[in-house]
């Protein structure tokens, strides 16, 4: 007799997947060969597969065994009750083995729970909050969870994930973590979602994300500290510059500054125009410059801190400054170098004074005063005369940069003994430069009334902010708005230009950019071709001569051609006039047809006089070319028949 073990099978699987196979063993416990006539299931969710053990064939010898492998492949969640049916040649013929299968969707849990969402702390625009962790967990208890994608966007960023790479399988009870930050781009309440794609029940699931962005000013100083090195006591070296930029998203108010520390009196500051004060309102991304000078009053290391008064939240920002006071020589130059900082190309700076101080007991005669190096520096020395002991020799220096970039020279004063006293001079020519990409715009060919648009890039290749004052075009070209708010060095902006030809042939114009850039205004050549239709009609008149009344003449033809650069639209072909009924036409131009450039069509006209005498009419062709409508006079003579 046959026996199937185990006595039943139980499966669990995710809808759309196939479970691992389970094996039923069939043993022939009888003394004769068992004939197997069929093995099947009564539910298509269960299927037979070939396993590793020998499968059951048509017969099974006494004492032998064979295997039946079964899998469960549900298409939906729910419980399936079925049976494996084994048909044999025995009297009771069919053996049934109960099969139970449950289609189960995995579940996904968020921590924090999806119902609560994840809230981030208030964060300044452009800054990043501390990371927060979201845990994704498969609570089980039976099937694995497959994650196919985990994404966020807008103001919420995934900075680290333990759920990658996807697809990622989580066994029952297993979890993975996603670390997120809030980086607001705009002020106010910001919302987003963490979206998880998986095979969990319900498919796509998400966790709500919230945070508040605040627009606050933020001061960034470059460099963040200053070191002046050695400087003779009682003299000033070249000032050093600090660029202060508002890197926040709200207006920054600079309302003053002061030095603190043990040697605060050794340092002075001035704004970029040389005023001994720092007051400015900086919009986001705007900058100003501050110069700091060091004039030690004693020997040794000298330190202080420049404190800036702003409306930035928190304590007043400080910039450490330091220098070393050293003993003064017999002849002292004050300052020992001059840096004019940035100066607009072509404009003179305020004068700076270099003073030669004679600390020796004898007069010092200055023979020559000159500048060597770049020609951007001019000097105005006092009248030549010896500098008495304890006296001074002041020289005024101005800087008028002729080009962008670093400019340098040396102010040299030579005394009567040939000793040379040198003061390095430096400055930076600043300004915006405009370059176009492409260098010219050619729109190709367009018909009148048509429009073509092209985008143009304006790039600031200079070292100062480009301020575009106006954009305008000439000719058949129109520009859109663009480049509003200024363009930082190295950045670019886009302008859209439209071409609307008002006539035929080559059309030219310019895009004119008026700005603060060096060499302005800047002009970009614009060109395009206007396509216009043309018309040719031959002959200019038709004369049919004498024709018997009531008879039809041989046809005569009018040829219409399109010699223009655009398609010719024929909008009407008609006969008019007192005797229009005496003429007939066969319109080969379609009445309302179109001729491409170079094409032609033919209109046939016949004369059928209805009365004797001179008969006239007009053939009229209307079209969209210049000179419409065109008229062709028609004439003929009606001849009375011979009686």
Supply the pLDDT for residue 8: 95
Q: Provide the pLDDT for residue 643.
A: 41
**All residues at 6 or more sequence positions from 576 whose CB lies less than 8 Å from its CB, including other chains:** 617, 618, 620
Question: What is the percent of the chain with per-residue pLDDT over 90, rounded to a whole number?
Answer: 59
Predicted confidence (pLDDT) at residue 292 exceeds the cutoff of 90: yes
The residue that leads in pLDDT, 641 or 72, is 72
For the ranges 35-44, 328-337, 568-577, 615-624, which has the lowest average pLDDT?
328-337
| pLDDT tens-digit readout, 186-203 | 889 999 999 999 988 888
Averaged over 531-556, what is the pLDDT?
91
pLDDT for res 284: 87
Q: What is the mean pLDDT of residues 61-79?
A: 92
Tens of pLDDT, residue by residue over 245-279, are 998 888 999 999 999 999 999 999 999 888 888 99
Look at residue 55 and tell me whether its pLDDT is greater than 80.
no
- Percent helix, percent strand, percent coil in the chain, to nearest 5: 0, 55, 45
Q: Give the single-character DSSP code of 312.
A: -
Q: Which residues of 154-184 are buried (b: 16+ CB within 10 A; e: fewer)?
A: ebbbbeebebeebebebeeeebbebebbbbb
**Residue 315 pLDDT level (bands cut at 50, 70, 90):** confident
Residues 134-162 have pLDDT tens digits of: 999 999 888 899 999 999 988 999 999 99
Check: CB of residue 259 under 8 Å from CB of residue 269.
yes
Look at 51-55, 384-388, 468-472, 591-595 and tell me which has the smallest mean pLDDT: 51-55
Q: Which of 74-83, 219-228, 358-367 bottoms out in mean pLDDT, i.e. has the lowest?
A: 358-367
Burial-class residue 386 by CB neighbours within 10 Å (0-12, 13-18, 19+). Answer: middle
Residue 140 structure tokens:
């089980």
> 3-state DSSP call for residue 21?
coil
Largest CA distance in the chain: 148
Q: With bands split at pLDDT 50, 70 and 90, how would you rate the model's confidence at 596?
A: confident
Q: Which residues contact 324 (CB under 8 A, 6 or more apart)?
A: 228, 229, 230, 231, 296, 300, 301, 302
- Residue 634 near residue 539, CB atoms below 8 Å: no
| Distance of alpha carbon 255 from the chain centroid | 37
Give the torsion through C-alpha atoms of 107, 110, 113, 117, to 10 deg.
-130
Q: Are 13 and 73 in contact (CB under 8 A)?
A: yes
Contact between 425 and 377 under an 8 Å Cβ cutoff? The reply is: yes
In whole angstroms, give the CA distance from residue 426 to residue 399: 9
CB neighbourhood size of 49 (10 A) = 11
Give the per-residue pLDDT at 642: 55
Task: Tell me the pLDDT of the chain averaged across its residues.
Answer: 90
Q: Say whether 531 sits in a helix, a strand or coil.
A: coil
Q: What's the pLDDT score for residue 395?
A: 93
Is the predicted pLDDT of residue 1 greater than 80, yes or no?
no
In the block, residue with structure tokens 């702390």: 121
pLDDT for 369 beyond 80: yes
Tell me the pLDDT band of 16, cut-offs 50, 70 and 90.
confident
Confidence of residue 120 (pLDDT cuts 50, 70, 90): very high
Selection from 470, 471, 467 nearest residue 485 by Cα: 467
């Amino acid at each position: 007799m046959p026996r199937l073990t185990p006595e039943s099978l139980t499966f669990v699987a995710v809808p759309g997947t196939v479970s691992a196979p389970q094996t039923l063993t069939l043993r022939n416990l009888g003394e004769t060969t068992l004939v197997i006539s069929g093995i099947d299931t009564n539910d298509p969710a269960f299927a037979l597969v070939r396993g590793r053990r020998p499968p059951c064939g048509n017969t099974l010898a006494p004492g032998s065994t064979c295997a039946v492998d079964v899998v469960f492949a549900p298409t939906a969640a729910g419980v399936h009750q079925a049976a494996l049916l084994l048909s044999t040649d025995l009297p009771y013929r069919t053996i049934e083995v109960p099969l139970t299968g449950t289609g189960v969707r995995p579940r996904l849990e968020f921590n924090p729970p999806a119902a609560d969402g994840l809230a981030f702390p208030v964060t300044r625009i452009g800054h990043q909050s501390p990371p927060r962790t979201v845990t994704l967990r498969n609570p089980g208890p039976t099937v694995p969870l497959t994650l196919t994608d985990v994404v966020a966007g807008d103001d919420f960023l995934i900075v680290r994930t333990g759920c990658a790479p996807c697809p990622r399988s989580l066994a029952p009870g297993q979890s993975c973590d996603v670390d997120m930050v809030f980086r607001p781009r705009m002020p106010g309440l910001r919302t987003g979602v963490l979206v998880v794609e998986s095979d969990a029940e319900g498919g796509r699931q998400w966790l709500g994300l919230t945070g508040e962005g605040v627009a606050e000013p933020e001061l960034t100083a470059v460099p963040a500290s200053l070191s002046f090195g050695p400087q003779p006591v009682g003299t000033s070296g070249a000032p050093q510059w600090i660029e202060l930029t508002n890197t926040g998203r709200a207006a920054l108010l600079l309302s003053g500054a002061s030095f603190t520390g043990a040697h605060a009196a050794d340092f002075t500051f001035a704004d970029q125009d040389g005023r001994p004060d720092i007051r400015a309102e900086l919009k986001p991304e705007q900058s100003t410059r501050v110069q700091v000078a060091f004039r030690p009053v004693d020997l040794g290391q000298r330190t202080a801190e420049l404190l800036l008064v702003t409306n930035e939240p928190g304590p007043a920002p400080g910039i450490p400054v330091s220098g070393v006071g050293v003993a003064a020589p017999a002849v002292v130059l004050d300052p020992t170098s001059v840096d004019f900082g940035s100066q607009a190309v072509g404009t003179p700076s305020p004068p700076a004074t270099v003073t030669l101080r004679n600390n020796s007991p004898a007069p010092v005669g200055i023979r020559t005063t000159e500048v060597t190096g770049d020609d951007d520096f001019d000097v105005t020395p006092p009248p030549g005369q010896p500098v008495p002991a304890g006296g001074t020799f002041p020289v005024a220096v101005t800087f008028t940069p002729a080009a962008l970039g670093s400019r340098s020279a040396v102010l040299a004063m030579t005394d009567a003994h040939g000793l040379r006293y040198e003061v390095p001079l430096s400055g930076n020519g600043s300004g915006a430069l405009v370059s176009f990409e492409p260098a010219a715009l050619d729109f190709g060919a367009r018909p009148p009334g048509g429009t073509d648009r092209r985008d143009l890039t304006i790039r600031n290749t200079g070292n100062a902010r480009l301020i575009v004052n106006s954009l305008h075009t000439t000719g058949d070209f129109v520009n859109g708005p663009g480049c509003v708010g200024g363009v930082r060095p190295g950045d670019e902006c886009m302008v859209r230009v439209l071409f609307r030809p008002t006539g035929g042939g080559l059309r030219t114009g310019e895009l004119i950019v008026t700005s603060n850039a060096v060499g302005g205004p800047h002009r970009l050549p614009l060109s395009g071709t206007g396509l216009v239709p043309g018309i040719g009609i031959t002959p200019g008149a038709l004369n049919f001569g004498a024709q018997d009344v009531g008879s039809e003449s041989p046809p005569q033809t009018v040829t219409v051609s399109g010699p223009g650069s655009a398609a010719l639209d024929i909008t009407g072909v008609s006969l008019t006039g007192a005797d229009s009924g005496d003429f007939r036409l066969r319109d080969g131009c379609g009445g309302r047809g179109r001729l491409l450039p170079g094409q032609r069509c033919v209109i046939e006209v016949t004369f059928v006089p209805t009365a004797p005498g001179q008969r006239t009419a007009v053939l009229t062709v209307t079209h969209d070319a210049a000179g419409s409508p065109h008229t062709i006079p028609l004439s003929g003579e009606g001849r009375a028949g011979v009686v």
